[in-house]
Structure 1
Amino acid sequence: MKNPQSSPSRAVKKYDGITNALSASLSASDASIQALLREGGSDNTLASYRSAIQYWAAWHQWRLGHPFVLPVPVSTVLQFIADHVEHATGTGLAHDLPDDIDAALVAAKVKRRTGPFKLATVRHRLAVLSEAHETQDLPNPCRSRAVQTLLARIRSAYAKRGERPGRKDALTKEPLEQLLATCDDSLIGLRDRALLLFAWASGGRRRSEVVRATLENTRRVPEGFLYTMGYSKTNQQGKETADSYKPVVGRAATALEAWLAAAKITSGPLFRRVRRGGVIGECLSAEAVRKIVQARAAQAGLEGDYTAHSLRSGFVTEAGRQGRPLGEIMAMTNHASVASVVGYHRAGAALSSKAGYLLEDAPFTPSSDRR
């Protein structure tokens, strides 16, 4: 349980100690890290694995007093869950991570803020730990009955509190239009308008896919542009398939042409930094794409949590609203699993269900037919 006498300030002063311990822990588990990095198929996956392992190492050293080494016992996993998930007490919700250790983890920059994790973050940390054990053929504590039973009870408890797994808000057509309205005719405005429309209209492209778009793989055609997908999260060998080609047409094509002309881009990456004085710089990073979406959402005054993934979920949700076939949408998005896309599609189609209008006298007309 938490110790109210602990002093976060004293923990912060131990920053050098925790960084040294972290280095030792990472060295001890280097084989695991290297195996995980080989498994990581994308930059984002690699970064998330590294972040999770670093957190495990730091937490383990501070909480248990010795380096993080595989295999990890079941008792350690149960303690990790108790430290990071809220449970009910007589005075409200609490978690078991001591305040001084919580502050030290933040000071070491392996944790963003003090307090419990979101349940999705805990599950991700456990998934990475599980993969580390599986990769080395070690007994996997995350698959133990005790851990699985506890997680099931936690999911049930969170559901009873009305807390559902967090999803970023979807940028469907209306909020997307609000973002586009913030883009003026400056170089940055032209670039951001082209980027938003390209990412959304070509099938809800991931940010890593946006920054890999070039004039070499995005060729002009009479209808606009045709973007050829190479390497992606679901095509890590870069094989060319029937679903590799993504149309960039209509307003998206017009916006892209305007940006390319203004920036005088004739080869290489489509979306680049705009430096002071209108100097066109290097290719944008995936992180820059996320920041552009968030900044434009803030400028538009949108309430909600919007990130680059909101373009992808928004495309699928809007397709559901407009009654587009799921197979056609998956051909655009390149989702590998029906389960991962069907939730967004059904959510978008919910208000178009005739069953919801049984009490109405007038015949129901889906919104997609009224456009």
Structure 2
Amino acid sequence: MTALTAPFTASLPRLSEQETAALNDLYRRGTPENTLRAYERDLVYIAAWKRTRLDAGLTWPEDETTALLFLLDHSRDLGPADIADPARGTAETLIAAGLRRSLACPAPASLDRRIASWRSFHRMKGLASPFDSPALRQARAKARRANARPRAPKSANPITREVLTALLDTCGPGLRGIRDRALLTLGWASGGRRRSELARLRREDVDLSEFDSQTRLWIQLVQTKTTDAGGTPKLILQGMTARALVAWIDAAEISDGPLFRPISRAGRALPRGLSAEALRHILRQRLVQAGLPADFASAHGLRSGFLTQAALDGVPVQAAMRLSLHRSLAQAARYYDDIDPAQNPAARLLEPPE
């Protein structure tokens, strides 16, 4: 990852080359893989934009004029722009290079993410970011307001209990079916886990001490997007979810190492772990087998589906958050707001319980 090879070099001149390399390695290992990939993509885009727009390379710290120009170029629809408009010409070059999708104004969230990555690299180098200036802060606020649009869901549909049941019905008695049943039920019932979290799980993270007596077990995630390493609470799995996971552990004879693994053509669990991308493919395959379109839901549908089902069942949002590990009540409550008002159990409080 060339973009992240030496973020500390400029800010720590007193460290030896070996010490700087060790610190860079620590930073990379302490940053989630998805974040590192986003940093790299964003920096590649920003560098290509500046080279095309200004015929210049990145500078540290970046000047406010360049930062403001980047903001302006990405805060308007360039389709109607004059063909001689340099912002449009730059966008067309980036589209041809596969770095930009269209001349349409990027979503405010996309612009915010790129700016956040740019600011992060300034922090890595111990430098002030131009985006922290009052003028740039005000311009960003105006850009967000001018280009506000409805929030796009991360999954086309939530994987509610009904959908999950249809997916589980496709999981046969073979080792692959046993694995996928455990993967889907754990991913859903543990609060809607992200692909990266499922891929990082190891056998050592599963506590089976209470399974035989109470049909429950505990999962210890190392860290999540919203919690730090060592600060993630244990998550409980009970009933059918616990049984499905134990069935996979026993069938695959997993005593240590990655929890979810690829299966060879000979029908054996391999030593390596499943990648986050493999989890996406597994979900798509199960959706098709259940008679649904492959793009009916993304892996985030497990997360949105858990919270949507909690809302439909009248589970208090705070209780659902204990498993989903959302930091923001407002963010978790969005899933409760998205349910059909006619299905809201709060609308039937005067009705006798069934």
TM-score scaled to structure 1, two decimals?
0.74
In structure 1, what is the Cα distance between the partners aligned to 2:294 and 2:268?
A: 33
Aligned to 1:14: none
Q: Secondary structure at the match of 1:247?
A: strand
Q: Secondary structure at the match of 1:267?
A: coil
Q: Report 1:337-348 matches (<5 A).
A: 337-348=328-339
* Residue 290 of structure 1 pairs with residue 276 of structure 2: no
Identify which of 192, 195, 200 aligns with 1:207. Answer: 195
**How big is each residue's C-alpha offset from its partner over 1:168-208, in whole Å with a ceiling of 9 and x where there is no partner?**
13222222223323333332222112101011112212223
Q: Is the 8 Å Cα contact of residues 312 and 344 (structure 2) preserved in structure 1?
A: no
> CA shift at 1:66, angstroms?
1.5
* Residue 181 of structure 1 pairs with residue 169 of structure 2: yes
Q: Is the 8 Å Cα contact of residues 311 and 336 (structure 2) preserved in structure 1?
A: yes
Q: Is the 8 Å Cα contact of residues 260 and 273 (structure 2) preserved in structure 1?
A: yes
> CA shift at 1:291, angstroms?
2.9
TM-score scaled to structure 2, two decimals?
0.77
Q: Percent identity?
A: 33
**How big is each residue's C-alpha offset from its partner over 1:81-136, in whole Å with a ceiling of 9 and x where there is no partner?**
344444277689x9735365224532xxxx37455544322210011112333454
Root-mean-square deviation over aligned CA pairs: 3.7
Q: Secondary structure at the match of 1:315?
A: helix
Q: Is the 8 Å Cα contact of residues 263 and 280 (structure 1) preserved in structure 2?
A: yes
Aligned to 1:62: 52
> CA shift at 1:165, angstroms?
2.6
Which letter maps to 1:75?
A: T
> CA shift at 1:348, angstroms?
4.1
**How big is each residue's C-alpha offset from its partner over 1:209-255, in whole Å with a ceiling of 9 and x where there is no partner?**
22233333213213334233242124433147xxx232222222232
Aligned to 1:127: 116
In structure 1, what is the Cα distance between the partners aligned to 2:345 and 2:251?
A: 47
In structure 2, what is the Cα distance between the partners aligned to 1:320 and 1:349?
A: 10
Q: Is the 8 Å Cα contact of residues 219 and 225 (structure 1) preserved in structure 2?
A: no
Which letter maps to 2:267?
A: G
Task: Label 1:59 to 1:28 Cα distance change in 2 as closer, same or farther (>3 A).
Answer: farther
In structure 2, what is the Cα distance between the partners aligned to 1:149 and 1:254?
A: 54
* Residue 259 of structure 1 pairs with residue 248 of structure 2: yes
Q: Is the 8 Å Cα contact of residues 269 and 283 (structure 1) preserved in structure 2?
A: yes
> CA shift at 1:324, angstroms?
1.1
* Residue 237 of structure 1 pairs with residue 253 of structure 2: no
Task: Label 1:154 to 1:306 Cα distance change in 2 as closer, same or farther (>3 A).
Answer: farther
Q: Which stretch has the larger CA shift, 297-306 or 177-186?
A: 297-306
Aligned to 1:191: 179
> CA shift at 1:149, angstroms?
3.9
In structure 1, what is the Cα distance between the partners aligned to 2:56 and 2:6?
A: 11
Task: Label 1:103 to 1:343 Cα distance change in 2 as closer, same or farther (>3 A).
Answer: closer
Q: Secondary structure at the match of 1:226?
A: strand
Which letter maps to 1:236?
A: D
In structure 2, what is the Cα distance between the partners aligned to 1:365 and 1:303?
A: 39
Identify which of 153, 169, 175 aligns with 1:167. Answer: 153
In structure 1, what is the Cα distance between the partners aligned to 2:67 and 2:96?
A: 20
Which letter maps to 1:127?
A: A
Q: Secondary structure at the match of 2:335?
A: helix
Ranges in structure 1 where 5+ consecutive residues have no aligned partner: 1-21, 358-362
Which letter maps to 2:297?
A: Y
In structure 1, what is the Cα distance between the partners aligned to 2:79 and 2:51?
A: 27
Identify which of 295, 316, 319 aligns with 2:307. Answer: 316
Aligned to 1:98: 90
Q: Is the 8 Å Cα contact of residues 43 and 118 (structure 2) preserved in structure 1?
A: yes
Q: Is the 8 Å Cα contact of residues 119 and 165 (structure 1) preserved in structure 2?
A: no
Task: Label 1:37 to 1:128 Cα distance change in 2 as closer, same or farther (>3 A).
Answer: farther
Q: Secondary structure at the match of 2:323?
A: helix
Aligned to 2:18: none
Aligned to 1:276: 265
Q: Is the 8 Å Cα contact of residues 74 and 111 (structure 2) preserved in structure 1?
A: yes
Normalized per residue, which structure has more strand? 1
* Residue 50 of structure 1 pairs with residue 40 of structure 2: yes
Q: Is the 8 Å Cα contact of residues 211 and 283 (structure 1) preserved in structure 2?
A: yes
Q: Is the 8 Å Cα contact of residues 171 and 306 (structure 1) preserved in structure 2?
A: yes
Task: Label 1:150 to 1:87 Cα distance change in 2 as closer, same or farther (>3 A).
Answer: farther
Q: Is the 8 Å Cα contact of residues 120 and 166 (structure 1) preserved in structure 2?
A: no
Aligned to 2:19: none
In structure 1, what is the Cα distance between the partners aligned to 2:100 and 2:163?
A: 29
**Equivalences, count:** 330
In structure 1, what is the Cα distance between the partners aligned to 2:57 and 2:88?
A: 20
Aligned to 2:15: none
Task: Label 1:89 to 1:118 Cα distance change in 2 as closer, same or farther (>3 A).
Answer: closer
In structure 2, what is the Cα distance between the partners aligned to 1:104 and 1:146?
A: 32
